Amino acid sequence: MTKRLISTLLLSLGLLLGSASAWAEGPELPAAGNNLRDQASLQRGAHLFFNYCVGCHSLKYMRYSRIAQDLNLSEKDVMQNLNFTGAKFDDPVISHMPAELATKAFGKDPPDLSLEVSAKGADWVYAYLNSFYLDPKSPIGWNNTILPNAAMPFPLWELQGEQTAVMGKDGHAVEKLELSHPGTMTPAQYQQATRDLVNFLDYVSEPAALQRRHYGVWVILFLALFTFLAYLLKKEYWKDVH
């Protein structure tokens, strides 16, 4: 029994070290730098999502009313500026792209993005949105260095512009990306825009995080006060004990 337990522990440790090694060998991702306390960023990210992403992607675990509540938006703001699918205020955020059209255009249904940041990490999503480039060999005309041969065309190309790949000496690996045709935003503005979008998707992946972090401060203060009172009570009980 003891040998079996030791073997299991060693195997688990080996798998953990192997995973860490594989992660270390992967490409270094730029930091998204998202901040769930930045409500202005969350609002800008919501605007970007509903103007550029909801045509194909859903957020089936989120409701328009919850977004309004958490992002300090009125029902009028949401229904006029974010709701382009004809949904009701209490409905979940569902794309109205027909499944057959999505399959015909992309070869598969576009994924729901409710848990995208939780699954892949904010840095990965941020890097992905900054790594599209023109590729005449691709059926959709675009490719991505983070997710090669991605089925999704680049929805934000008007904002960023068009990037082209500079190939390495082997002629196969992409060495770097260059902005060949500027978009409506400067590179710095586009990076901030994608940070806002990732920030919004991070919020969507765990909406309760906003409330949890707000209440967390009060919980810490309560525990500190309780600890102080418990200390005073302990001193009172033990003051006559020598």
| CATH for 92 | 1.10.760.10
- Do 202 and 238 lie in one domain? The reply is no
Per the structure block, which two tokens stand in for 4? 């079996």
Residue 218 lies in domain: 211-242
Number of domains present in the structure of the chain? 2
Assigned domain for 220 exists: yes
SS (H, E, C) 81-119: HCCCCCCCCCCEECCCCCHHHHHHHHCCCCCCCCCHHHH
> Does one domain contain both 126 and 142?
yes
For residues 187 and 236, membership in a common domain is answered with no
pTM higher than the cut 0.85:
no
Residue numbers belonging to the annotated binding site: 53, 56-57
DSSP 27: P
Q: What is the pLDDT along the chain (242 residues), one digit of tens a residue?
A: 555 545 554 555 554 444 444 433 456 899 999 899 999 999 999 999 999 999 999 999 999 999 999 999 999 999 999 999 889 999 999 998 877 777 777 777 889 999 999 999 999 999 999 999 999 999 899 999 999 998 899 999 999 999 999 988 776 788 899 999 999 999 999 999 999 999 999 999 999 876 666 666 777 887 888 888 888 887 777 877 75
Does 35 share its domain with 150?
yes
Q: Are residues 148 and 62 in the same domain?
A: yes
Binding region for heme c: 53, 56-57
> Are 210 and 45 within 8 A, CB to CB?
no
- Give a yes or no: residue 16 inside a domain: no
User: Is 6 among the domain residues?
Assistant: no
